[in-house]
């Protein structure tokens, strides 16, 4: 949520920042109008209270001087003031609720350093590693959904019969590879990040805290009977771990990681990128997350990006890093880098990690503060998140990249400690 003080001080700058996303910023004008009304009501309340205090003193003096009748008559004149104060207080509460509702639907302001542009075509390629399109042999140019069916490691047809389109089922060595990737993603960050296993069903307020509600309700799964939501990412419960709390500066930066299943309806994606594992409703992911001070945030952004990229690099997958344009950044993000791997069978780049700096946008929604050492008062923390390892597309990239001429799939060396002696997924005999 944006800072109302910033909107109050410079609404034009806020509107200009939101417009860089290509979003309608007219609601900021409504926020400004409501905020002016709130402050006008507050002034009226202060005036009423000031007058009430003056009259109360006068009543007290009348009682002390024995002029009881005059005191009682003057007392009656204050009854209207009390009712007026209640009306102003009700108006303030109503207007503040309307301001909050408006702000819950406004995205974060993109960083001034974020590239201009409204679509993914405007993203800036920061670097490309280990990619040579001429280096891929014909046996690597088979899509993972065909390889998976041939080797019996990916069963999309049965998953669709059980759950519907855009679900997948891993079997045998395929399920083993999935589990190895999860362990790999967790273990390589265990040196600095606390492992958490949060719930995957959360309350509405928990989804609001990250900015997934109310704006992106159509992309989430909602259990109406219990008013619970299936998380689209572990970022959601990790943000709310300390919602409403005040942290000590000495606790920051706080580093957390979690493996969870994630659920996304992918509304509006029907018929697009739905083959195999390109776009699925349920998937496993290792999430990296941090709360920190504003001064720590830039370094933490680079740390999470570095950890996510090194995981891909050590798997031996060709990849690139993109600096996302304003219009392609998620609603809560101010600056985002994407990591994409090249899948030679699908013949395309696949996003496997978005590493986002959300400034204090989520902290304001979830009311997460810290107490600076040696200073009075509290400040909002900054939050950052990134996929340490998103399993399905990395799984697909490995299956296509490491496919051998005989149809088997060699396993990346860094995964061998997690595969119980399995060095390859063999061809069926």
Are residues 257 and 288 in contact, defined by beta-carbon separation less than 8 angstroms? yes
Q: Is 54 exposed, middle or buried (0-12, 13-18, 19+ CB in 10 A)?
A: exposed
Whether 83 shows a pLDDT value over 90: the answer reads: no
pLDDT at residue 266, rounded to an integer = 83
pTM: 0.94
Are residues 397 and 350 in contact, defined by beta-carbon separation less than 8 angstroms? yes
pLDDT at residue 271, rounded to an integer = 59
Whether 288 shows a pLDDT value over 90: the answer reads: yes
pLDDT at residue 80, rounded to an integer = 76
**Which CATH code of 2.60.120.1570, 1.20.58.1910, 1.10.287.40, 3.40.140.10 fits the domain covering 4-104?**
1.10.287.40
pLDDT at residue 58, rounded to an integer = 82
Q: Average pLDDT of 212-220?
A: 94
Closest CA relative to residue 4, chosen from 37, 44, 43, 31: 31
pLDDT at residue 56, rounded to an integer = 82
Q: Is 61 exposed, middle or buried (0-12, 13-18, 19+ CB in 10 A)?
A: exposed
Query: Exposure string (b/e) for 68-78, b if CB count within 10 Å is 16 or more?
Result: eeebeeeeeee
On average, the pLDDT of the chain sits at: 95
State the Cα–Cα distance between residues 378 and 372, nearest whole angstrom.
Answer: 7
Determine how β-strand 194-196 pairs with β-strand 254-263.
parallel
Quick: pLDDT tens for 238-285: 999 999 999 999 999 999 999 999 999 986 555 567 899 999 999 999
Q: Average pLDDT of 209-235?
A: 96
- What residues does each domain of the chain span? 4-104, 120-425
Q: How confident is the model at residue 127 (pLDDT cuts 50, 70, 90)?
A: very high
Weakest mean pLDDT among 40-49, 57-66, 206-215, 354-363: 57-66
Query: Exposure string (b/e) for 372-389, b if CB count within 10 Å is 16 or more?
Result: eeeeeeebbbbbbbbbbb
Helix (H, G, I), strand (E, B) or coil at 101: helix
CATH T-level fold of 120-425:
BirA Bifunctional Protein; domain 2 (3.30.930)
Q: Average pLDDT of 294-314?
A: 98
Q: What percent of the chain has pLDDT over 90?
A: 88
């Amino acid at each position: 949520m944006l800072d109302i003080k910033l909107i109050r001080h410079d609404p034009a700058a806020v509107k200009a920042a939101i417009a860089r996303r290509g979003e309608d910023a007219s609601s900021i004008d409504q926020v400004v109008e409501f905020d002016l009304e709130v402050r006008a009501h507050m002034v009226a309340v202060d005036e009423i209270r000031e007058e009430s205090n003056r009259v109360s003193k006068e009543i007290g003096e009348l009682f002390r001087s024995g002029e009881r009748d005059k005191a009682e008559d003057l007392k009656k004149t204050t009854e209207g003031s009390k009712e007026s104060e209640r009306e102003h207080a009700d108006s303030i509460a109503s207007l503040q609720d309307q301001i909050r509702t408006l702000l819950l639907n406004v995205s974060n302001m993109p960083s001034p350093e974020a590239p201009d542009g409204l679509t993914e075509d405007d993203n800036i390629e920061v670097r490309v590693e280990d990619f040579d399109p001429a280096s891929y042999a014909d046996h690597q140019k088979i899509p993972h959904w065909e390889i998976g069916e041939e080797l019996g490691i990916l069963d999309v047809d049965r998953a669709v019969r059980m759950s519907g389109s855009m679900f997948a089922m891993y079997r045998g060595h395929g399920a083993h590879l999935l589990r190895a990737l999860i362990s790999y993603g967790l273990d390589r960050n265990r040196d600095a990040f606390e492992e958490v296993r949060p719930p995957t069903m959360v309350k509405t307020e928990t989804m609001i805290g990250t900015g997934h509600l109310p704006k992106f309700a159509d992309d989430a799964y909602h259990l109406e009977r219990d008013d619970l939501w299936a998380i689209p990412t572990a970022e959601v419960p990790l943000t709310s771990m300390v919602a409403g709390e005040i942290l000590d500066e000495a606790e920051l930066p706080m580093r957390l990681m979690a493996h969870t299943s994630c659920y996304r309806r992918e509304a509006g994606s029907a018929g697009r990128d739905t083959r195999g594992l390109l776009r699925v409703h349920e998937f496993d992911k290792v999430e990296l997350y941090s709360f920190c001070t504003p001064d720590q945030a830039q370094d933490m952004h680079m740390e999470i990006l570095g950890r996510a990229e090194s995981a891909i690099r050590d798997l031996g997958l060709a990849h690139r890093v993109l600096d996302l344009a304003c219009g392609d950044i998620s609603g809560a993000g101010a600056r985002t880098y994407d990591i994409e791997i090249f899948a030679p069978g699908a013949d395309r780049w696949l996003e496997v990690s978005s590493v986002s700096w959300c400034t204090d946008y989520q902290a304001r929604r979830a009311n997460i503060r810290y107490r600076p050492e040696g200073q009075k008062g509290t400040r909002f923390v900054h939050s950052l998140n990134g996929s340490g390892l998103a399993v399905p597309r990395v799984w697909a990239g490995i299956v296509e990249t490491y496919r051998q001429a005989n149809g088997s799939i060699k396993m990346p060396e860094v995964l061998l400690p997690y595969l119980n002696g399995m060095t390859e997924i063999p061809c069926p005999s």
